[in-house]
Chains A and B, each alone.
Chain A
Amino acid sequence: MSQQRTVGISDFVVAKGPDILVTYALGSCVGICLYDSKLQIGGLSHIMLPDSNQFSKNEINRMKFADTAIADLVSEMRRLGADMRRITAKIAGGAKMFQTQPGSQIGSIGDRNVDSVKQVLKDLHIPLTAEDTRQNYGRTIHFYLGTGIMKVSSLNRGTMEY
């Protein structure tokens, strides 16, 4: 029996197939699905902010930031036996929910989150195999650890499979 587990905001969960990991209503946040297909070990992280560096190290929730969350997620997967050389990534989210005036600071965070997630993955040599990012709508991710499929659903655009 597969078990469905919910990943909250600034949270991540690691599990094995055939479990399903879900995270709801990503706006400017980004959901990162990491997967070792041989062992069916996968993790889903829901980050809010691009970079932990401007915050003091001992006060932060590491699962909130792209850099620290992905690093910790990878460690947790490796602890369960996942091989760094096999881990691949799929990501979704990073939308601009409100169309603000050009030049406004507000609303650019989605893009910055996506850029940062990609950079962190690149630095860790994790290949990005699929993405459903940016644009202007909210997304929910279902990540199927039996197959590695990431399903992305939204209110008006149906469901996409990656």
Chain B
Amino acid sequence: MFNIYEELNDTHIDVLREIGNIGAGNAATALADILDDRVEISIPIVRVTDFDTAVNALGGAESMTVGVMLNYYGDANGMIMFLINMDDAKLVMKILLQGYGEEDENEITEMKLSAIKEIGNILGSSYIGSIATLTGLQIELSIPYVAIDMAGALMSVPIIEFGAVGDKVMFIEESFSGREHNLKSNVVMFAQVDTLRIIMERLGIGI
């Protein structure tokens, strides 16, 4: 079966990782502004992996997960999804909404959902922004969509939309640490078959 991800060599993966690094750096700056804290982000682990491995890295297919999904379109087309497990999501919401009367950790209010959606939006924009800057491609982003459900069920959405040809995904795992808290989140990137090729060509390492 034709699968562009399998044609990526180590140089391509390095480039994707570097895009991930730049994106993560942008995201850290943006998050630090919002969280009013110094946020450090580990060097992201970028993997090109199959669906099952990605789902297991999220804690298993049935684990309760918050997913924020954005579509990108224009010169490059695909989806980017920010995934964070429920416990870490509660921590993020707690930090974000301190002093807003949203102290009950177990209640997921509209306000908390918007906060998480905004974090997903920032991360998604940071990654897509870094790709656009490096390649000079014009890339637009949709508004963010949020859902809380089984990790496997959330991830199946982009897999279905953009995984029709192959079954591999680009999976970026990163750890954020602030003064008091550490948490892990994952960004999964899906690209249309042509999109990865265009990105690599623009960066001078055509597939």
B201: Cβ under 8 A from any A Cβ: no
- The answer to whether B153 and A100 touch across the interface, beta carbons within 8 angstroms, is no
B167 touches A26 (CB 8 A): no
Q: Please name all residues of chain B whose beta carbon is closer than 8 Å to the beta carbon of A60 when the two chains form the complex.
A: 1
* Interface secondary structure of B, over-half rule: mixed
Known: A59-B1, A106-B71. A29 touches B160 (CB 8 A): yes
Which of B71, B145, B156, B167 is A29 in contact with, Cβ under 8 Å?
B156
Q: Tell me, in angstroms, the Cα distance from A10 to B160 when the chains sit together.
A: 11
Bin chain B's interface residue count. Answer: 20 to 34
Whether the Cβ atoms of A155 and B149 lie closer than 8 Å is yes
Q: How far is the CA of A24 from the CA of B151 in the complex (A)?
A: 10
Q: Is the CB of B149 within 8 A of A8?
A: no
Q: Are A24 and B62 in contact (CB under 8 A)?
A: yes
**Which partner residue on chain A sits nearest B68 by CB separation?**
A98
Contact A48 B149 (CB under 8 A): no
| A12-20, A82-90, A135-143 - the one binding chain B | A135-143
**Cβ contact of A98, chosen from B55, B147, B151, cutoff 8 A:** B147
Residues of B within 8 A of A137 (CB): 149, 153
Interface residues of chain B, those whose CB is within 8 Å of chain A, are 1-2, 51-52, 55, 61-62, 64, 67, 69, 71, 79, 143, 145-147, 149-157, 159-161, 163-164, 167
> Closest 3 interchain pairs by CB?
A138-B153, A25-B152, A27-B153
